[in-house]
Amino acid sequence: MKISKIHIISLVVIALMFVGAYLTMSTLPTKIATHWNFADQADGFTENKNFVFFIPALAFIVLEIYMWIQKFDPLHKNAEEIKKYYEGVGLVITLFFAYLQCITMLWNISATFSMSKALSPAFACLFIFIGYILPKTKQNWFLGVRTPWAMTNENNWQKTHEFGGKLFIFSGFIMLLGVVLGPIGLGAGIACVLISSIIVYFYSYKLSKKK
């Protein structure tokens, strides 16, 4: 099976993540922080230094499952046409994991910065990218806003994704507030994503009723 250039780049990033994990093991403290609460305080720890390989391993599993599952899309023709967007999302998610690994390791080494402020730009870029590609996708079962009405009507799909794309881009920019406001800004961005998901669902339903 032929592997695309974008997929290869994703795998190279993951390989570098494993190398980085190995190189930083010796610099980490005995107790490694693995979770932070909404107040920016570390509230989950592990003494197992093999945890450093967890994020790159998870990134690899998520990427390969995501790339593999698209092959079972009943709308195979459309899936082939938007394959580059599948691969683009896979690369962006991989880069998100790589960034998450970097700030997790850096925090454990220095613990001198706000985790929510560091996470905010990564989440912002992720949702802005998703919002950007949504209007470009065609009907498929694994990428996009798959409401019953969008899946059964091509016009509904297109309008739903154009509207949803704008909402997710807006949510991504709201998340950038977290760089300044910390947990409050990041929380506001996450709330926007959740509210946008609900709004898009009912927007698709409303379009079907108008038709």
- pLDDT tens by residue, 156-172: 999 999 999 999 999 99
Q: Is the same domain home to 7 and 96?
A: yes
Q: Give the Cα separation of 20 and 65 in Å (integer).
A: 23
Q: Is the same domain home to 126 and 75?
A: no
Domain of 196 in residue numbering reads as 114-211
- For 8-21, how does the pLDDT look when each residue is reduced to its tens digit (9 = 90+)? 999 999 999 999 99
Q: Is the same domain home to 86 and 120?
A: no
Query: Token pair of 92, please?
Result: 């962006």
Q: Is the same domain home to 142 and 83?
A: no
Residues 6+ apart with CB under 8 A from 78: 138, 139, 140
pLDDT at 140: 85
Is a pLDDT exceeding 90 seen at residue 210? no
Is a pLDDT exceeding 90 seen at residue 73? no
Band of residue 108 on the pLDDT scale cut at 50, 70, 90 = very high
pLDDT at 211: 60
Among 136, 204, 207, 133, residue whose Cα is nearest residue 172: 133
- Say if CB 126 and CB 93 are below 8 A apart: yes
- Say if CB 133 and CB 59 are below 8 A apart: no
Q: Which of 113, 142, 167 is the last residue of a domain?
A: 113
Q: Is the same domain home to 22 and 39?
A: yes
Q: How many domains does the chain have?
A: 2
Q: Is the same domain home to 196 and 208?
A: yes
Angle at 2 between CA 55 and CA 79, to 5 degrees: 80
Q: What is the mean pLDDT of residues 42-47?
A: 90
Is a pLDDT exceeding 90 seen at residue 2? no
Q: Is the same domain home to 133 and 194?
A: yes
Is a pLDDT exceeding 80 seen at residue 76? no
pLDDT at 110: 83
DSSP H/E element including 34: strand 32-36
